[in-house]
Amino acid sequence: MNLRRLANRLDGCSRRDLLTTAAQGLLGVSLLPLVPSLAGADPTPGTGGRRPTAKNCIYLYMSGGMSHLDTFDPKPGAESQGPTKVIPTAADGVQVSEHFPLVATHMRHVAVVRSLNSTQGAHEPGQYFMRTSYTQRGTIRHPSMGAWVSHLSGRANPTLPTAVSIGGGRKPGAGFMESRFSPLPIGNPEAGLQDSRRPAGVDGALYQRRLDLLGRFNDGFQAAFDHKPVRAYNDLYDEAVQLMASKDLAAFDIKQEPEHLHDAYGDTPFGHGCLLARRLIEHDVRFVEVELGGWDTHDDNFDRVEAQANILDRSLSALLADLTSRGMLEETLVVVATEFGRTPKINGNTGRDHYPKAFSCLLAGGGIKGGQVHGATDPTGGSVVASKVEIPDFNATIGYALGLPIERVVMSPSGRPFTLADKGRPLTALF
């Protein structure tokens, strides 16, 4: 049901009643009695009855709008296809563009979703929608998927953050949630985690004295002003101190990987990012986003897509092979997402423009049945003709795979109800 619309048209009191009723239904309280220690006792509920098909997620974000026609939804013979050719893959009947010869060999693990569509045709709103499942509003900041994962799943590694975000620009982060749920940003994957060691002149004792002093100042203030923002601020310090002391700090250092593996992933920031993502997942970080930009191909589409596709092909195929050999792919969902596709019509600058009406994303590993295509577009790639997938549905699928309670309502500080994927329903046919 359209909760938000309903809630908005009710006055304060009956709105609360409605939400109480709705929450009972949504939380499944009446259906699934929860063992307290598996669900309610810890301050970040969500471990109860998760039933995950994947434990972790590597979310590769193609920023700028990846041309579906020149990547994973090619239309051989159509005028809209332009010069991009098509190759077969290891999965029967699944074709991709010629720019993905390496990924094609891993297609048995990959499900291609070709029927996505969005309502947002500009980059920032489109990326926001893809990462949060909600369209931008002036009155609220929605949390990103990484923040939802942090909030709903709890930590697997006691000293590392639950979510990490590598590369790219401004992202929705924790949104209205407390800042401790925000994915830890890593600017340059090759440099790893910056400022995570004590300065040279500060020994253990001095460092501890400084922390104690900080604690003395903070304790008084926090006792007097025990508010969420104040706690959030102190949490941030505690997290940082904990992280600095972590024996798993080496997870952030990709220089510990042999050189041939660097080569296999590709000597690009995105390749390093993917390698770092694998290391972090291996150390029980639950959600890692890696961004690859450069897909906004308004001009010179075919050369520029080829260049970006080569980067993605190499890094993604290495990542899938690496995860497979380590036995991690079964429990790690690999997502390739973007904000929209590009126009079937080739413009005057041999470019393609923004096209939210139809585009493609990938899901691999983590319980996904590979080698399948979900949904389809018409022969020009211009509109979805089968199994239309809305962005919230796609994100609900990620939440479902991770076993997160996608139906659980989390209230914003202003008292508005939100869920991980808005009203999206998971694509259970993919599992």
Partner 1 sequence: MATLPRLIAVLAIAVCAAAGDAPPSTVYSTQIQPLLSKHCWSCHGADKQKGNLRLDSPSAIMQGGKKGMAVVAGHPEKSSLLALTTLPADDPDVMPQKGDHLTPAQIDLLRTWIVAGADFGAGPTTVAKAAPYVRPTTTLDQRAAKVTPPGEAALKKLRDLGAVVTAVSANQALIDVNLRHATKLDEALAATEAVATNVVWLDLGGSPFTDSQAKTIGRLTNLSRLHLERTTCGDAVLAQLANCPQLEYLNCYGTKITDAGLKSLAALKTLRALYLWKTAVTTAGIATLKQALPDLVVTGAPPESLTNPAPDETAGKKKGKKAK
Rank residues 15 and 298 by Cβ distance to partner 1 and give the closer one: 15
Rank residues 22 and 311 by Cβ distance to partner 1 and give the closer one: 22
- CB atoms inside a 10 Å sphere around CB 424: 22
Rg (CA), the chain: 22
Sites of contact with partner 1 (CB under 8 A): 1-3, 5-6, 8-10, 18, 21-22, 24-26, 30-32, 34-39, 47-52, 154-159, 260-261, 263-264, 267, 282, 284, 318, 321-322, 324-327, 330, 400, 403, 407, 425-426, 428
**CA pair distance 121, 144, nearest whole angstrom:** 19
Q: How far is the CB of 18 from partner 1 (least distance, A)?
A: 5
Helix (H, G, I), strand (E, B) or coil at 184: strand
Q: How far is the CB of 29 from partner 1 (least distance, A)?
A: 10
Q: How far is the CB of 48 from partner 1 (least distance, A)?
A: 6
Rank residues 44 and 80 by Cβ distance to partner 1 and give the closer one: 44
167 and 187 Cβ atoms separated by less than 8 Å: yes
Rank residues 66 and 281 by Cβ distance to partner 1 and give the closer one: 281
DSSP string, 327-372: T-GGGEEEEEEES-EE-SS--TTS---EETTSEEEEEESTT---SE
Rank residues 47 and 182 by Cβ distance to partner 1 and give the closer one: 47
**CA pair distance 174, 158, nearest whole angstrom:** 20
Q: How far is the CB of 317 from partner 1 (least distance, A)?
A: 9
Q: How far is the CB of 162 from partner 1 (least distance, A)?
A: 11
**CA pair distance 148, 163, nearest whole angstrom:** 9
Q: How far is the CB of 58 from partner 1 (least distance, A)?
A: 16
Rank residues 40 and 83 by Cβ distance to partner 1 and give the closer one: 40
**CA pair distance 172, 156, nearest whole angstrom:** 23
What's the maximum distance between 2 C-alpha atoms anywhere in the chain?
72
H helices within 121-227, ranges in order? Answer: 123-132, 145-153, 204-224
Q: How far is the CB of 407 from partner 1 (least distance, A)?
A: 6
Rank residues 31 and 205 by Cβ distance to partner 1 and give the closer one: 31
Q: How far is the CB of 24 from partner 1 (least distance, A)?
A: 8
Q: How far is the CB of 73 from partner 1 (least distance, A)?
A: 27
Helix (H, G, I), strand (E, B) or coil at 239: helix
Rank residues 195 and 259 by Cβ distance to partner 1 and give the closer one: 259
Residue 273, amino acid: G
The Cα-based distances of 402 to 149, 192, 295 in angstroms read 8, 26, 28
**Nearest in space to 113 (alpha carbons), one of 66, 162, 45, 170:** 66
Residues pairing with 113 in the sheet: 361, 374
Rank residues 138 and 327 by Cβ distance to partner 1 and give the closer one: 327
Q: Given its phi and psi angles, is residue 373 left (phi above 0), alpha (psi -120 to 50 degrees) or beta?
A: beta
